[in-house]
Amino acid sequence: MGDTDKAGIVYYPNYFKWFDIAGHQFFRSCDLAPSKLEAERQIIVPLLDARCSFEKPLLYDDVITIQTTVEEINNKTIKLRHEVYNGDVRTGHGYELRGWVNQTADQIKAVPIPADVIAILNEDIQSDQRQSRTPFNA
């Protein structure tokens, strides 16, 4: 509701907010919750790059679903692909590139993604099982 303008059309920055929420949901669904990464590994996953293509309008009262999958695993970054659906109709898609970054009192530095995390993320690439589907009200 609060995500639309007076005419009832969704305001575009909301897509990036939904991407952020869906990305966090995705990491939680893989047992890689950002709060856990920070507490247990001193790792944060800041956004380095993002993109969105807007294909169809979204209106007041539409209930949307975000489908999130791993698009790329690089040395120190992960690219998540997000697709936004209103029912069966895709209204937009894009990506978030997140860094795998060690944060200590002294420094913030990207570091190589460890093998156990690569294995978890590869499972997502190879199967449809771990796609996070997050419903929102536009």
Ligand X SMILES: CC(C)(COP(=O)(O)OP(=O)(O)OC[C@H]1O[C@@H](n2cnc3c(N)ncnc32)[C@H](O)[C@@H]1OP(=O)(O)O)[C@@H](O)C(=O)NCCC(=O)NCCSC(=O)c1ccc(O)cc1
Residues that bind ligand X (CB under 6 A): 44-49, 74-77, 97, 99, 101, 108-110
Reading the block at residue 111, the tokens are: 């570091």
How far apart are alpha carbons 49 and 135 in whole angstroms?
Answer: 24
- Cα 101 to the chain's mean position, in Å? 16
Q: Which is nearer to ligand X, 92 or 99 (CB)?
A: 99
Whether the CB-CB separation of 29 and 123 falls below 8 Å is answered with: no
Say whether 5 is catalytic. yes
Q: Which is nearer to ligand X, 97 or 120 (CB)?
A: 97
Catalytic residue among 3, 5, 20, 88: 5
Taking the complex as a whole, the smallest distance from the CB of residue 8 to ligand X amounts, in Å, to: 30
Catalytic residue annotation: 5
